[in-house]
Amino acid sequence: MTAAVFFGCTFIAFGPALALYIFTIASDPLRVIFLIAGKASEGLKSINPDDTVPSMRLLAYVSGLGFGIMSGVFSFVNTLSDSLGPGTVGIHGDSPQFFLNSAFMTLVVVLLHVFWGVVFFDGCEKKKWYIILIVFLTHLLVSAQTFLSPHYGINLLSAYIIMVLMGIWAFFVAGGSCRSLKLCLLCQDKDFLLFNQRSR
């Protein structure tokens, strides 16, 4: 187990979460703190009167990301630290892809937490209890699937499928639409990050 495995697995597992953090939260930490302190509207007006009031969706996203990162870190960091040490993976007949599988599984768990957060908050706000039930059941499903541990293929594949579905759902719940997605991808949306960093 080498440094390459260590860094590779670290970036696989935490790269997207770190990118999300850097691009959406780190540049505007005050907004996040205000959200959490619960004084969103007045507080932000004092900073920038033109800024939009952060919504419950932003809080949902931030809390989902936070939960995801903590969950991923707690699951994976000891494994990562072991990967720096000496050893041979799978010497007793286990799969040699132990680290890669753990890394990809951690990634999917982190992203799932983000999407679950968004969807869950929306369900709570609109008081649609079936949404909460679905979030709960999919979480249970993904976790139960990990019992299939040596059979990485089916486990990872279905986890990623669930993640993509949840991602699409969270996207529409957060207010996205096919039109806004197109504008975003073509960098034509004035409000979007890539068009103008400030006006979000």
Partner 1 sequence: MLTFMASDSEEEVCDERTSLMSAESPTPHSCQEGRRGPEDGEGATQWGNQDSEEDCEEDPDPYACSGTPGRPPGLEEELTLKYGAKHVIMLFVPVTLCMVVVVATIKSVRFYTEKNGQLIYTPFTEDTPSVGQRLLNSVLNTLIMISVIVVMTIFLVVLYKYRCYKFIHGWLIMSSLMLLFLFTYIYLGEVLKTYNVAMDYPTLFLTVWNFGAVGMVCIHWKGPLALQQAYLIMISALMALVFIKYLPEWSAWVILGAISVYDLVAVLCPKGPLRMLVETAQERNEPIFPALIYSSAMVWTVGMAKLDPSSQGALQLPYAPEMEDSYDSFGEPSHPEVLEPTLPGYPGEELEEEEERGVKLGLGDFIFYSVLVGKAAATGSGDWNTTLACFVAILIGLCLTLLLLAVFKKALPALPISITFGLIFYFSTDNLVRPFMDTLASHQLYI
* Interacting residue ranges for partner 1, rule: CB under 8 A: 29-30, 33-34, 37, 39, 42-43, 45-47, 70-71, 73-79, 81, 98, 101-102, 105-106, 109, 142-143, 146-147, 149
Q: Based on CB atoms, which residue is closest to partner 1, 4 or 37?
A: 37
In the complex, the smallest distance separating the C-beta of residue 49 from partner 1, rounded to whole angstroms, is 8
Dist CA 64 CA 80 (whole Å):
23
Q: Based on CB atoms, which residue is closest to partner 1, 70 or 157?
A: 70
In the complex, the smallest distance separating the C-beta of residue 72 from partner 1, rounded to whole angstroms, is 9
Q: Based on CB atoms, which residue is closest to partner 1, 160 or 195?
A: 160
Query: Tokens representing 109?
Result: 């768990």
In the complex, the smallest distance separating the C-beta of residue 167 from partner 1, rounded to whole angstroms, is 18
Q: Based on CB atoms, which residue is closest to partner 1, 101 or 180?
A: 101
In the complex, the smallest distance separating the C-beta of residue 182 from partner 1, rounded to whole angstroms, is 35
DSSP track, 34-68: HHHHT-HHHHHHHH-TTSPPP-HHHHHHHHHHHHH
Dist CA 14 CA 30 (whole Å):
23
| Cβ atoms of residues 66 and 73 within 8 Å | no
H helix runs in the chain, sequence order = 3-20, 29-37, 40-47, 56-83, 98-126, 129-145, 152-173, 178-185
